[in-house]
Amino acid sequence: MEEQNFHVVLFPFLAHGHINSFISLASLLHRHDSNLTITFVSTPRHIQSVRSSLPHSSIRFHSLPFFPESHGLPPNTESFADLQLPQFLTFLYATESLQPAFDDFISTIASDATSHGAKVVIVSDLFLGWTVEVARKYKVFHSVFLTMSCYGAAIYLSLWINLPHTKTTSDWFPLPEYPDIILHRSQLSKPLLMADGTDPGSIFQRRELSLCCKTDAMLVNTIEEIEKRWLEMVAKFLKIPIFPIGPLLCGLKPTSPSVETEIIEWLDLHPPASVLYISFGSQYSIQKNQMWELALGLEASRRPFIWVIRPPLEFDAKDEFKGEWLPDGFEKRIKEQKSGFFVHGWAPQNAILSHKSTGAFLSHCGWNSVLESLNSGVPIIGWPLGADQLYNVTLLVELGLCVEVARGNMETSEVEKEKIANAIEMVIGDNKDGQDIRKKAKEIREMVKGSYKDESCSSAKGLAEFLKIIKTAVDN
Ligand code: UDP
Q: What pLDDT, in 10s, does the model give residues 115-162?
A: 888 899 999 999 999 999 999 999 999 999 999 999 999 999 999 999
Which residue has a Cα nearest atom 2 of ligand 1?
Answer: 349
- Check pLDDT > 70 for residue 251: no
- ipTM of the modeled complex: 0.99
- Ligand 1 pocket, residue 251 CB under 6 Å: yes
Buried b / exposed e across 19-57, counting CB within 10 Å, b at 16+?
bbbbbbbbbbbbebeeebbbbbbbbebbbeebeeebeee
pLDDT recorded at residue 475: 52
| pTM of structure | 0.95
Dihedrals φ, ψ of 341, to 5°?
A: -130, 125
Which residue has a Cα nearest atom 16 of ligand 1?
Answer: 281
Type and span of the H or E element at 96: none
Instruction: Specify the higher pLDDT residue, 18 or 253.
Output: 18
Confidence of residue 1 (pLDDT cuts 50, 70, 90): very low
Instruction: For 337-367, give the DSSP string.
Output: HT-EEEESS---HHHHHTSTTEEEEEE---H
**Best CA proximity match to 393, nearest among 410, 411, 380, 376:** 380
Query: Is 146 within 8 Å of 189 (Cβ atoms)?
Result: no
- Ligand 1 pocket, residue 394 CB under 6 Å: no
pLDDT recorded at residue 57: 79
Distance (angstroms) between ligand 1 centre and the Cα of 281 equals: 4
Distance (angstroms) between ligand 1 centre and the Cα of 380 equals: 15
- Residue 271's identity, in one-letter code, is P
Angle (CA) 339 343 344, round 5°:
135
Cα–Cα distance measured from residue 295 to residue 327, given in angstroms and rounded to the nearest whole number:
7
Distance (angstroms) between ligand 1 centre and the Cα of 349 equals: 8
Average pLDDT, the chain: 93
> Count of CB atoms within 10 A of residue 385's CB?
24
First to last CA, the chain: 22
Dihedrals φ, ψ of 42, to 5°?
A: -165, -165
- Ligand 1 pocket, residue 358 CB under 6 Å: no
- Residue 305's identity, in one-letter code, is F
**Best CA proximity match to 136, nearest among 106, 161, 113:** 106
- Ligand 1 pocket, residue 73 CB under 6 Å: no
pLDDT in tens, 75-104: 999 988 888 888 999 999 999 999 999 999
| Helix runs in 38-180, H state only | 44-53, 88-95, 99-115, 130-137, 150-161
Contacts of 23 (CB under 8 A, 6+ apart): 40, 50, 53, 54, 250
